[in-house]
Amino acid sequence: MTQTVKESTAVSRKRTSEAESFIKGLRGVRYQVKDVSRSVDFYTRQLGFKLDMEHLPAFAQVSVGDLKLILSGPGASGSRPMPDGHKQEPGGWNRIVLQVTDLQNRIEVLKKAGLSFRNEMEVGPGGKQIQLEDPDGNPIELFEPDQAS
């Protein structure tokens, strides 16, 4: 091994240990929303999340399993503009992925409830998925793994 490779490996190990020293784990996912109360209603009534905390109109936290979803309204500290002026807004393509069973029937129930979907159900080698939107356009993927997975 050359000296440069040895130094690079040592630096890489040091960086990894530094990162591990301050990251304590996953806290949750933050979604920017326009109306926190409406979002809480959507996640709890339509998707079965549990309400953990609510400080209207600024923010709320809902959860399902180990996932904590932080809903930040326009007045929340987690929604303030960036120093360069960029505003944090709902939408985009990054998304939470929720594992479900019987996806086809779940889609029908949610469509009858008036929920908005971005696409039709897709089938791939790992399973089936579809994207729906919360009331502010934030994407949520419902995923049913293939039985062999």
> Residue 29, exposed/middle/buried by CB under 10 A (0-12, 13-18, 19+)?
middle
| Nearest residue to 38 via CA among 54, 23, 24 | 54
pLDDT tens across the length of the chain (149 residues): 666 666 666 665 666 666 556 777 788 999 999 999 999 999 999 999 999 999 999 999 999 999 999 999 998 888 898 899 888 889 888 899 999 999 999 999 999 999 999 999 999 989 999 999 999 999 999 999 998 75
Give the three-state DSSP class for 47: coil
| Domains of the chain and any CATH numbers | 26-79+88-145 (3.10.180.10)
Give the three-state DSSP class for 26: coil
Report helix, strand and coil shares of the chain as percent, to nearest 5. Answer: 30, 30, 40
pTM score of the predicted model: 0.76
